Amino acid sequence: MNKEHLSDSELQEYSLNGENCPPQFNEHIQSCNFCRQKAELYQLMFSSEMKPEAPIFDFDLTQTVMRQLPVPQSTALEKSYTIYWVGASVFLSAGALIYLIFMTSRGFLFGKITPMTLGISITTFLAIFAVLGIDIFQKHTKQMKVLQSELQQLGSLAV
């Protein structure tokens, strides 16, 4: 042969299908110790498929991870209907205020504005006020939950 040694691709081809290789590969491997050893190494690698073993933990990984996750806790505020009671009381208070101020026997507080326009304006203002109040209350509740879970995590880390 003109070459000193077979290339890696030729050795791999010989290792995978030795009987179907060109005859010069067989001749060279029979005469060259270096190429025969490399071919045997490739055959060993291909036969064992060199798969890495799965890591074996001496502890339960699932339980370890689950202990570190925050536990969702339901508060009494979520279970109650506090937000609905606040909204209903705002609307009832608005109706009572309109009645007491504008519908009494003394007449209307604002003579140039019709009672219907004034009632709609005040009701709209109070409705917007109630919606914004509910939104602020919900954001505050979410922030308190986040703060509570962070404090619990810090407490569990300190233990």
- How much is the pLDDT for 2? 45
Residue 127 pLDDT class (50, 70, 90 cuts): confident
Which is more confidently placed, 82 or 104? 82
* pTM for the full predicted model: 0.32
- How much is the pLDDT for 66? 79
- Which residues make Cβ contacts (< 8 Å) with residue 73, sequence separation at least 6? 148
Question: Across 35-44, 105-114, 139-148, which has the greatest mean pLDDT?
Answer: 139-148
pLDDT in tens, 10-31: 888 887 777 778 888 888 888 8
Kindly state the tokens that stand for 96: 């009572």
- How much is the pLDDT for 78? 56
Q: How much of the chain, in percent, has pLDDT values that exceed 70?
A: 75
Count of C-beta atoms within a 10 Å radius of residue 80: 10
Lowest mean pLDDT among 45-54, 67-76, 85-94, 111-120: 45-54
DSSP characters over 99-140: HHHHSSTT--SSSSS-HHHHHHHHHHHHHHHHHHHHHHHHHH
